[in-house]
Amino acid sequence: MKIAIIGQAAFGKDVLVKLLENDETVSAAICPPDNNQSNDPMKLAALEHEIPVYQYNSMRDKSAIKEFASLGIDLCVMAFVTDIVPREILTAPTFGTIQYHPSLLPRHRGPSSINWPIIKGERETGLSIFWPDKGLDTGPILLQKEVAITLEDTLGSLYFGKLFPLGVDAMLEAVQLIKDKKAPRIDQNHDDASYEGWCGTEEAHINWDQPAFDIYNLVRGCDPSPGANTSYQGDRISFFDASYKQTKMPMHENGTVISVCGNHLGVKVEDGLINIGRVRHGKGPKLSASEFIEKHGIAEGTKFPS
């Protein structure tokens, strides 16, 4: 079975390598244009294994569609795809196309599907391997895997520690089901669907008057990117490595710095304290809380605006 993989970065590379380790025939690797990032891990892995690499400015271009159709692909595997893949490419392979999505579809369709379950305080998420169609994350499900979201999980730990490795194995499992002619196509229940857009800096802005756990979940769900943020001396600062402690501090307003000692920055929230371990000031590097305190002289009693 001739497989084409569309993807990029570490996840695309690991799916490619896993397929090769399982003696699958990967006949083509489709990666985004270099754009000064010619060291994309998936592209380099494909070249290392002498797999033809194709890079299109847009997969909707007629030349891209025509070239892909000429490759005689049996199955297309989409791993970390950010371009819009046209239906002509999705349906060109003999057995169609499968795609990885890091949520339990139909929940959390969209581009930031790992951030939002944490931000919303959910205790479970997962991944879906599905058959993409003309909609956005709307196609039939092939298989799904569930994972727990702990109170300590961040975007980074949830993805790299759970959804990334589980997703690589799930892609291989899905390919095997297709080869064995046992791959289901289970329609999504669109009545249960939810969609969220990108989680960017605006969505990550902290309202200090929200409940404590809402703020804590926002910080976790935006760590390491884009960083839950507030403002300080006219600049944006973003918080990482947070923990929450429930305690009563009636004499302080929410959003007030009440501790600047040791390796943390403590901020008062409703019914508790958010301890911040790392801070990024503007577009600068991430600093430990102690480095930030020393460099910027932030003091107890500083009030962050909502």
Contacts of residue 232, defined as CB under 8 A and 6 or more positions apart, other chains included, come to 281, 296, 298, 302, 304
For residue 302, the 8-state DSSP code is -
Q: Do domains 2-192 and 212-296 have the same CATH topology?
A: no
Of 28, 22, 137, the C-alpha closest to 74 is 28
What tokens does 109 get?
A: 């369709």
Residue 11, strand partner residues: none
Of 29, 1, 28, 12, the C-alpha closest to 100 is 12
C-alpha span between 98 and 178 (Å, rounded): 10
CATH of 212-296, one of 3.10.25.10, 2.60.120.10, 3.40.50.300, 3.40.630.10: 3.10.25.10
C-alpha span between 278 and 288 (Å, rounded): 4
Contacts of residue 211, defined as CB under 8 A and 6 or more positions apart, other chains included, come to 270, 271
Of 77, 82, 71, the C-alpha closest to 33 is 82
DSSP secondary structure string for all residues of 59-86: TTSHHHHHHHHTT--SEEEEES--SPPP
Q: Say whether the peptide bond before residue 224 is cis (omega within 30 degrees of 0).
A: yes
Residue 306, strand partner residues: none
What tokens does 19 get?
A: 């397929």
Supply the pLDDT for residue 291: 94
Residue 54, strand partner residues: 30
Q: Are strands 2-7 and 53-55 parallel, antiparallel or unpaired?
A: unpaired
Q: CA triplet 121, 122, 124: central angle to 5 degrees? A: 150
User: Exposed, middle or buried by CB within 10 Å (0-12, 13-18, 19+), for 23?
Assistant: exposed
Matching residue, tokens 């993807």: 7
Residue 238's φ and ψ, nearest 5 degrees, are -120, 145
pLDDT in tens, 241-273: 999 998 887 788 999 999 998 789 999 999 899
**Can you give the pTM of this predicted structure?**
0.95
Supply the pLDDT for residue 36: 63
| Alpha helix stretches (DSSP H) within 208-299 | 212-221, 289-296
Q: In the chain, where are the structural domains located?
A: 2-192, 212-296
CATH number of 2-192: 3.40.50.170
Q: What are the pLDDT tens digits along the chain (306 aa)?
A: 999 999 999 999 999 999 999 999 999 999 999 976 668 999 999 999 999 999 999 999 999 999 999 999 999 999 999 899 999 999 999 999 999 999 999 999 999 999 999 999 999 999 999 999 999 999 999 999 999 999 999 999 999 999 999 999 999 999 999 999 999 999 999 999 999 999 999 999 999 999 999 999 999 999 999 999 999 989 999 999 999 998 887 788 999 999 998 789 999 999 899 999 999 999 999 999 999 999 988 999 999 998
Beta carbons within 10 angstroms of residue 15's beta carbon: 27
